[in-house]
A and B are shown apart, each in its own frame.
Chain A
Amino acid sequence: EQLFVGDQVLRVTARKEEQIALLRVLGEQEELQVDFWRHPNSPGHPVDLRVPFLNLHGVKKFLESHNFSYSIMIEDVQELLDEEKESMRRSRRVKR
C-alpha cells in the first residue's frame, strides 16, 4: 500500500502565462514526482499539486524563487487518508 505521510497539496496561483509555463516545467521534472490535482491552465486559476514529503523543500524553493504565491491546501495527505479509512470502517461497523 502506498503511503503519503508528510505529502502536502499546495495551491498555487499563477499570475501570468510565463508562470503557467514554469509550472508545466515543474511537472515535467520526473524526479520531483509532482502530482497535479488541478492542472496549470490560465492565469488566475488555482493550481493544486501534491508534492511528496521528500521533495517539498525543493518544490517550495522553486516556487519561491519564481515569486509564486501559494498556500498549503492539505498539510499531510496521509492524515486525511487515515481519517477517510476510519470513517469507512465506522460506517461498515454501524451497518452490521
Chain B
Amino acid sequence: SSRTFDFSSYHTIDEIYDWMDVLVEDHPNLVSKIQIGQSYENRALYVLKFSTGGWKRPAIWLDTGIHSREWITQATGVWTANKIAKEYGQDPSVTAILDSMDIFLEIVTNPDGFAFTHSSNRLWRKTRSLNAGSRCVGVDPNRNWDAGFGGAGSSSNPCSETYHGPHAHSEREVRAIVDFIHAHGNVKSVISIHSYSQMLLFPYGYRREPTPDHQEMNELAKKAVSDLAAVFGTKYTYGSIANTIYMAGGTTIDWAYDNGVKYSFTLELRDSGRYGFLLPSSQIVPTATETWPALLDIMVHVLEHPY
C-alpha cells in the first residue's frame, strides 16, 4: 500500500506504475491515473491527476524523469505525488491550490529510457527511438521541443547525448505532452524536474534576451531557492537557462513559455558533490523534502496570480 511503500529506495517502472494504482485506490476522490499516450516501445505514458472536481480548471503540470538516468527525479516524483495526496485537507496551501486548480504529474516521462537504465545501461539519458541511417539510438527529449529547435546546445549527431532528433516533437514521449497541454488549454504552469546541478531555471534557454516576465520569475525563483535552502542548507542558483548554464535550444520550458504557459520552470535537483546521477537512495527523501517548499512556493504563486 502507499503506507508500506519504501520511498527511500529506487524502484523499477513496474513498481512505480503499480504504486500509482495504489495511490489512486487510497485517494479515489482526489487522484486518478490517465494515459496520455504510448512511448516508442509502446509503454504507457501515465499521468497522475490531482483534482477535486470541476471541468478543465486551471492546471499545474509537473514532470520528472525526462532524462532517464536522473533517478533522483523519478523518486522525487513518487514522494511528491504521495505528499500532495496526503496534504490535501491538512496543509492550507495544498488545500487551497487543489480547491481551485488541478495538478498533473508525470513521474516516468521517458519510460523506455528508464526501463533501459534498469536492464542494460544505468547511465542512459535519451529516448530509445531508432535513428534512420545511424547505429546510435535515442533522442534527447529535452532538445526535441519546438522552441529554438536545433539551436545552440543541441546536436545534430544521433550519437550525441544532446541529439535533438529529426524534427521537433519527433519523440512520442514529447508529442504526448504537447498534445495534452494543447488539448487541455488551461495549463498555467509547467515545472520540469532534472538533476543534478542545484538550480532553479526559467526561460529562455534558446535566446539570451530576458522574457517579459523575467523580473517576476526571478523574484519567485529567489524565494523558492531560499525556502529550499532553509530545510537542509542546500544552495541553489537561479536565473534563465541561457544565462545560468548555457544556451540550449528545444527545451521543455521554453516551449511551454512560448505556448502561453507563463510560469515555466525547470529544477535541477541536488547532488552531494560526489555522486552525480548515482546519488545514493538514502538521499531520496532529503532531496524530495527540501524540494517540496520550492514547488509549493511556485504553485501558490500560480494560484495567487491568475492570468
Contacts and interface: CB of A to CB of B under 8 A. Distances in A.
Contacts of A37: 196, 276-277
26 contacts: A1-B119, A1-B121, A2-B121, A2-B123, A4-B123, A30-B159, A37-B276, A37-B277, A38-B276, A39-B153, A41-B245, A41-B246, A42-B246, A73-B276, A74-B274, A74-B275, A81-B122, A84-B10, A84-B122, A87-B10, A87-B280, A88-B10, A88-B281, A91-B6, A91-B8, A91-B281
A-B pairs with lowest CB-CB distance, top 4? A41-B246, A91-B9, A2-B121, A80-B278
B120 interface: yes
A83 B122 CA distance: 13
A60 B229 CA distance: 35
Contacts of B277: 37
A17 interface: no
Interface string A1-25: 1101000010000000000000000
B6 A35 contact: no
A87 B8 CA distance: 10
A93 B42 CA distance: 30
Contacts of B281: 84, 87-88, 91
Interface in B131-190: 153, 159, 161-162
Interface in A70-96: 73-74, 77, 80-81, 83-84, 87-88, 91, 94-95
A35 B122 CA distance: 13
Nearest to A41: B246
Contact of B120 (A2, A36, A91): A2
A50 B197 CA distance: 16
